[in-house]
Amino acid sequence: MYKKTLVSLLMVLFTGTLILKGQPTGNSTVDLLMSAYSARMFTSDPVSDSDLDLILKCGLKAPSARNGQPWKFTVVRDNALVAGVISNATPGNVLILVSGPESSQQGMNSDFDYALATENMYIAAQALGLGARIYTGPVSSINSGKKQTLNIPDGYRVVAVLRVGHVSKDVDASSSASTRKTIEEVVNYR
Ligand SMILES: Cc1cc2nc3c(=O)[nH]c(=O)nc-3n(C[C@H](O)[C@H](O)[C@H](O)COP(=O)(O)O)c2cc1C
């Protein structure tokens, strides 16, 4: 009994260590989450319509408070418009502008919903072998003067920008990712 418990404990510790080190676990979703990173270096290969469609569908699938699905997604492919939002964008990058109603409904926690939709698309892009990065830096300048040019639906404000594109196969994903706090720093139990 004692031996069995000890073996189970060692297995849990071993698996946990593997996961934290980013080594493959054999579970493709967990492996993807552990290797995901915010890309900066993109190539100019175009994102296919079929990949874009799948990414958007994964955004639609995000859970939301009371299934309110308060988001709109605006796809920007035009290189000049993309560069007007993210100055160092690479031609071929696609932006997905995630918006929500200007007058948010009380008690709906909509910011949470937008974040989940954005994260779904961020992860989906990487699952399809693309690179992605979330931005909130450009949001205020979009909302204060570029909404019409970017075709943001009337009565909506942009809350996040997702940049998607191809990344060079030479980019080393694990050294491109930023470091994370340790489990001990973040998690507590009672
Ligand atoms: C809500 C949010 C806003 C962000 N805004 C920006 C931004 O304006 N500019 C930028 O370069 N990166 C932005 N990022 C990317 C973060 O800097 C990045 O996720 C973080 O440094 C972790 O890096 P990693 O994902 O490569 O490990 C943002 C990420 C999130 C989740």
Q: pLDDT tens digit string along 137-149?
A: 999 999 999 999 9
More confident residue, 143 or 178: 143
| C-alpha 95 – ligand 1 centre gap (Å) | 15
Phi and psi torsions of 114, nearest 5°: -60, -40
Please choose from 32, 98, 133, 178 the residue to mutate so as to test ligand 1's pocket, defined by most ligand atoms within 8 A of CB. Answer: 133
Alpha helices by DSSP H, 104-172: 110-127, 139-143
Structure-block tokens of residue 76 = 């920007």
Residue 157 has pLDDT above 80, yes or no: yes
| C-alpha 2 – ligand 1 centre gap (Å) | 46
Give the three-class secondary structure for 159: strand
pTM over 0.85: yes
| C-alpha 134 – ligand 1 centre gap (Å) | 6
Question: What CATH architecture does domain 37-186 belong to?
Answer: 3-Layer(aba) Sandwich (3.40)
Residue nearest to ligand 1 atom 22, measured at CA? 178
For residue 135, list its beta bridge partners. Answer: 161
For 96, which DSSP code? E
Give the three-class secondary structure for 13: helix
Nearest-5° Cα angle at 134, 157 to 161: 25
| C-alpha 122 – ligand 1 centre gap (Å) | 11
Distance CA 188, CA 65 (A): 27
Locate the ligand 1 atom nearest the alpha carbon of residue 137 and give its number.
Answer: 8
Residue 62: count of CB within 10 angstroms of its CB = 17
Distance CA 26, CA 131 (A): 22
**Domain layout of the chain by residue ranges:** 1-35, 37-186
pLDDT at 12: 46
Residue 98 has pLDDT above 50, yes or no: yes
Distance CA 28, CA 104 (A): 36
Distance CA 70, CA 4 (A): 50
Instruction: Name every protein residue with a CB atom under 6 angstroms from any ligand 1 atom.
Output: 37-38, 133-137, 177-178
| C-alpha 40 – ligand 1 centre gap (Å) | 10
Residue 136 has pLDDT above 90, yes or no: yes
Locate the ligand 1 atom nearest the alpha carbon of residue 115 and give its number.
Answer: 1
Residue nearest to ligand 1 atom 4, measured at CA? 135
> What's the mean pLDDT in 106-119?
89
Residue 16 has pLDDT above 70, yes or no: no
Q: What is the pLDDT of residues 37-78, one digit of tens each?
A: 999 999 999 999 999 999 999 999 999 999 999 999 999 999
For residue 131, list its beta bridge partners. Answer: 165
| C-alpha 130 – ligand 1 centre gap (Å) | 16
pLDDT at 174: 64
